[in-house]
Amino acid sequence: MKECIQPFDIRITEPTVVSIGKFDGDHRGHRKIFKVMHEIADRYHLRTAVFTFSTSPMDVLNGTESQQIDTGTERRKKLKEAGIDFVVEYPFNAETASMSPEMFVKNILISKMNMKAIVAGPDCSFGKGGKGNASLLKEMASSGEFQAFIIDKERDSNQDISSTFIREKLKNGDMESANRMLGEEYSVEGEVTEGNHLGGTVLGYPTVNIFPPKGKLLPRSGVYSTSVRILTADGRENPGEKMLRGITNVGNNPSIDSDRMNHAVRIETFLTDFSGDLYGKKIRIFFHHFIRPEIKFRDLDGLKKQITEDLKKAEFPEGV
């Protein structure tokens, strides 16, 4: 995969089949688009290319900093794993915001990305004010300069799958629905940091703490049944590495008055079947099931008893 970060770097000489969007979460709808792109690429001898913005247009327009299902690094990694040849991360600024849909197609997709085909959903939008849509793509494709393939949305329980809908499920702690639409388990990756040193010595369970990456959307605060995989030094998964079971608290640890991390939002996991030192190791935590909201306990005995009850309620998928 070749990454084109700046607009002046975009000079794709090979003919491409393109798709445009934020591609947040690499959900089943995105995978349907990628499957069609690869089929078209094989049929017409094209390379696959994705156009996305390096920053969220709505954040730029509204002056906000929203959180996404995937960080930029995670998104690039997943697009690479999906076999996309070119990923164009275009800056969103005043110039791009004022570009008409027609000029976007002609000056960016055709001229810079050498687009010969495009795959899009029926609700796609692009160009100034998001006025570009599937109908415009089909109209412009009638000139014969490129082909437009408009595909139906992937659905789940009579609901169109979208990143927006998945974000709602995560914010509600509905991991089963979110994971089903993602087509995989939602996960968070990070380096294990020192915590309050209460897990193994006081509470009876070894714990690992990570801080979420900047911009990463977390599920609602509370306790979840999770599994943990220890990663290699360069952040890759080792299929032979045993998955560790645990329960994870997402929040700011309100029960520990002397919290070493000043009650910052973090992800703390109590491991049920592990002994050892993971400080400095990279891990990925997979979320399976919401158990309860975060609670402030009067003392550590109350917290310890609750952890025991949480473990009884923990639910894990087959094979974990």
CATH code, 91? 3.40.50.620
Residues 33 and 107 in one domain: yes
- With beta carbons less than 8 A apart as the criterion, state whether 205 and 272 touch: yes
Residues 138 and 36 in one domain: yes
Q: Which of 30-34, 89-93, 126-130, 200-204 has the lowest mean pLDDT?
A: 200-204
Residues 189 and 99 in one domain: no
**More confident of the two residues 45 and 53:** 45
For residue 320, being part of any structural domain is answered with no
**pLDDT the model gives residue 304:** 81
Q: Which two tokens stand for residue 215?
A: 């911009």
Residues 143 and 205 in one domain: no
For residue 271, being part of any structural domain is answered with yes
User: What is the rounded average pLDDT for all residues in the chain?
Assistant: 87
Residues 147 and 235 in one domain: no
- pLDDT-above-70 percentage for the chain: 88
Residue 312, Cβ density class (10 Å: 0-12 exposed, 13-18 middle, ≥19 buried): exposed
Residues 136 and 218 in one domain: no
Is pLDDT of 57 > 90? no
Number of domains in the chain: 2
- Give, to the nearest 10 degrees, the angle between helix 163-171 and helix 175-182: 160
Residues 256 and 296 in one domain: yes
What residue numbers bound the domain in which 85 lies? 2-153
Residues 96 and 45 in one domain: yes
**pLDDT the model gives residue 202:** 45
**pLDDT the model gives residue 302:** 80
Q: Which residues contact 102 (CB under 8 A, 6 or more apart)?
A: 127, 132, 136, 140
Long-range contacts of 134-139 (CB under 8 A, 24+ apart): 136/101, 136/102, 136/105, 137/105
Residues 204 and 145 in one domain: no
For residue 4, name the pLDDT band (cuts at 50, 70, 90).
low
For residue 100, being part of any structural domain is answered with yes
Q: Which of 15-19, 128-132, 231-235 has the lowest mean pLDDT?
A: 231-235
CATH number at residue 212: 2.40.30.30
Q: Which residues contact 123 (CB under 8 A, 6 or more apart)?
A: 133, 134, 153, 160
For residue 174, being part of any structural domain is answered with no
For residue 212, being part of any structural domain is answered with yes
For residue 171, being part of any structural domain is answered with no
Which domain-ending residue is among 153, 174, 206? Answer: 153
What's the pLDDT tens digit per position in 278-315? 888 999 999 999 999 988 877 778 888 888 889 889 88
For residue 176, being part of any structural domain is answered with no
**More confident of the two residues 311 and 120:** 120
For residue 281, being part of any structural domain is answered with yes
Residues 273 and 206 in one domain: yes
Is pLDDT of 255 > 80? no
Residues 9 and 134 in one domain: yes
Is pLDDT of 142 > 80? yes
How far apart, in whole angstroms, are the C-alpha atoms of residue 319 and residue 254?
Answer: 33
**More confident of the two residues 256 and 265:** 265
How far apart, in whole angstroms, are the C-alpha atoms of residue 204 and residue 304?
Answer: 8
Residues 123 and 17 in one domain: yes
What's the pLDDT tens digit per position in 182-235? 999 999 999 998 765 554 444 567 789 999 998 899 999 999 999 999 998 877
